[in-house]
Amino acid sequence: MKGRVEIQHVSPAVDCGRYAAKAVVGDDVVVGADAFREGHEKIAVAVRYRGPDDSRWRDAPMRLDANDRWYGHFPVDRMGAWRYQVMGWTDYFVTWLDGLQKKHAAGQTDLDVDVEEGALLLERRRSDVSKAVAAVLDDTIDALRSDRTLTERVAAAGDPDLLAVLKRNPERLDATLSKPELSLWVDRPAARFSAWYEMFPRSEGAVPSSSETVGPEGQPSKSGTFAEAAKRLPAIAEMGFDVVYLPPIHPIGRTNRKGSSGPHDLDPGPDDPGVPWAIGNEEGGHDAVHPDLGTIGDFDKFVAEAATHGLEIALDYAIQCSPDHPWVTEHPQWFKHRPDGTIQYAENPPKKYQDIYPVNFDTDDREALWAELKRILDHWVSHGVKIFRVDNPHTKALPFWEWVIAEIRAEHPEVLFLAEAFTRPKMMQTLAKLGFSQSYTYFAWRNTKHELTTYVTELAHTDMADYYRPNFWPNTPDILTEFLQTGGRPAFKLRLVLAALLSPAYGIYSGYELSEAEPLEPGSEEYFASEKYGYRPRDWDHPDSLAPYIGRINGIRRAHPVFAELRNVWFHHIGNDALLCFSKVDANRNGAVLTIVNLDPHNPQDGVTWLDLWQLGLEHAGPFEAHDLMTDTTYIWNGPDNYVHLDPAVEVAHVLRLRSL
């Protein structure tokens, strides 16, 4: 028989429980539900939960908020698949007690029968509790049936210690369980909070070809190696990054290889290295290392060296092949053949990728294809790679992602997947639901106060926050925005501040610290002398490098745990559309950090804040301290309205730690 309590609108529940919500180890997962029953009876509500390999459910009480909405929370202490439900039942004793107390308060005195009803409820309850609990119940039963005054007996029934015992040992005679059981995937903390740095190892220590605008004239081209790239790791760690992401490190095809001049260069020189995403030649495919970079042993040393600096290696996972990939001859059925017998190369009109064949997920040989694609992931996991940046997952079969991510997680729950999908919103959201740990976003193209506020609010304060973890990138090898092209060094600084302090996960592509901003041509987001097509060694010791500034920002992120969260972002009013004002505060409204950014890289801007002091935990404070973590300057502010001036030629942002005096 169904219980009498109605349970509705349980949250988080991604698509009614079709997909798992997300959390990280150490979270207290907040669960909400509407719960009620007919009549005036009181109910109790709890969330039931169990973790990976748990044989029994555990319970956590839920509390009534308002309008029949209940909230509770439970801790998650390890990675893996968790389950949870909401349970509601009639609390007969509390219902009885409420009625008794109201009658007594109204002056009614003929309540002996009412009191006996309570004693009978406790007798019923004592039949299936421990001896210690039964002893407490017996003491109350004796008190209710004694010759004490009515006031004393009512007080005994409402004794806080008794109620606490009953709450710990509830009687669930008519319990209702929410359906279905809901899923929660718990990742390690790096799934939410991490700072990424993208680098091409082949450019470190490389000699570019003479056709490029950089490098010595007339020298033959030469690739960098893992050993040379490892020399860059200490500087990356010093800037405060956690993850070093490498584009594909595999052998590169020679057929239709793109030249170093850019995407339209179909006439490569003999030394042009080709695009790393054109994977595979006679030297191997997705499980091989480009011999110019070194051996698989050299890669293992690179991974180990990164670990000594507190860095993880993320590897690109691109399901595509050059025409020279071994799969093309060994498994031609894995590719789409045109009417003339040729294999269809990749296109994203008007872009053409003549050097790449996409894999055909509609092949009749699907089982073998999927098994091979999983084997590739297993191979790199065995070499210490626990993070994969997945190239264009929205162009691959969605059932494959759901399957392969679940398969990898079953064996290696610590492995993370970043979805590189700049596409339609619902597709990006679905990839996150299918299991991707993090997702690229539209951040690179959100520049105005309205755009940023609207977009971040959607990510942090809608149901998307239950499953979609953003990773903000102001630039990538494919994306050099007009804002960066035209904004100069201040544009790079302010976009860094926004990415790093709005989103718990963010990344930059190497060269960002040097403010590289020259496009291939007007109106293009392609870089001039793009590293995708050739080697690009850099002078990392340039005096205008933003490396120290990046290190300061990442240091602030690490020192203040509020930046490890997304849902705690709050936008405050400031009287200038060129200034963005937002805070991050912990759950207890302590440790508030307020960031104010000048969104105009060309001109000084000023304005007056109107802070939501209650959101900052300062509603009862008098004057309070605003300590700028960027400049180590302290201001004394009073109330919500405070004057701010930011000159991008000097500093683009205030990052203020707030506390009452």
Q: Which domains does the chain have, with CATH numbers?
A: 6-186 (2.60.40.10), 188-564 (3.20.20.80), 569-660 (2.60.40.1180)
> What pLDDT is attached to residue 17?
96
Say how far apart CA 357 and CA 366 lie, in whole Å. Answer: 17
Active site residue 420: yes
Selected catalytic residue, list 391, 516, 531, 651 = 391
Q: Does residue 216 carry a pLDDT above 50?
A: no
Give the residue with greater pLDDT, 1 vs 261.
261
Active site residue 391: yes
Q: What is the 3-state secondary structure (H, E, C) of 457-506?
A: HHHHHCHHHHCCCEEECCCECCECCHHHHHHHHHHHHHHHHHHHHHCCEE
Summarize pLDDT for 29-63 with one digit per residue, the tens.
Answer: 999 999 999 999 999 999 999 999 999 999 999 99
> What pLDDT is attached to residue 213?
45
Among residues of the chain, what percentage have pLDDT more than 70?
Answer: 98
> What pLDDT is attached to residue 219?
60
Distances from the Cα of 39 to the Cαs of 4, 97, 99, 382, 514, in angstroms?
10, 16, 13, 60, 69
Helices (H), 11-91: none
Which residues in 435-468 are b (16+ Cβ under 10 Å) and which e? bbbbbbbebbebbebeebbebbeebbeeebbbbb
- Confidence band of 356 (pLDDT split at 50, 70, 90): very high
Among residues of the chain, what percentage have pLDDT more than 90?
Answer: 92
Within 10 angstroms of residue 140's Cβ, the number of other Cβ atoms is 21
Summarize pLDDT for 357-416 with one digit per residue, the tens.
Answer: 999 999 999 999 999 999 999 999 999 999 999 999 999 999 999 999 999 999 999 999
Give the angle subtended at the CA of 590 by the CAs of 589 and 596, to the nearest 5°: 85
- Confidence band of 88 (pLDDT split at 50, 70, 90): very high
Phi and psi at residue 81, to the nearest 5°: -90, 120
> What pLDDT is attached to residue 610?
97
Summarize pLDDT for 553-603 with one digit per residue, the tens.
Answer: 999 999 999 999 999 999 999 999 999 999 999 988 878 999 999 999 999
Least confident of 10-14, 136-140, 172-176, 321-325: 172-176
Residues 6+ apart with CB under 8 A from 247: 198, 200, 276, 277, 316, 477, 532
How far does CA 117 lie from the centroid of its chain?
A: 53
Residues 6+ apart with CB under 8 A from 303: 313, 383, 384, 385
> What pLDDT is attached to residue 589?
80
What does pLDDT average to over the chain? 95
End-to-end CA distance of the chain: 59
- Confidence band of 215 (pLDDT split at 50, 70, 90): very low
Say how far apart CA 386 and CA 413 lie, in whole Å. Answer: 9
Say how far apart CA 264 and CA 256 lie, in whole Å. Answer: 11
Phi and psi at residue 420, to the nearest 5°: -95, 85
Distances from the Cα of 314 to the Cαs of 35, 198, 307, 390, 563, in angstroms?
44, 9, 12, 10, 22
Say how far apart CA 23 and CA 31 lie, in whole Å. Answer: 12
Selected catalytic residue, list 324, 420, 513, 600 = 420
Say if CB 20 and CB 184 are below 8 A apart. Answer: yes
Q: Does residue 203 carry a pLDDT above 80?
A: yes
Q: Does residue 630 carry a pLDDT above 70?
A: yes
- Confidence band of 211 (pLDDT split at 50, 70, 90): very low
Q: Does residue 255 carry a pLDDT above 60?
A: yes
Which residue in this structure is represented by tokens 């005054």?
149
Residues 6+ apart with CB under 8 A from 13: 21, 182
Quick one: average pLDDT of 158-186? 95
Phi and psi at residue 547, to the nearest 5°: -55, -45
Summarize pLDDT for 648-661 with one digit per residue, the tens.
Answer: 999 999 999 999 98
Quick one: average pLDDT of 2-20? 95
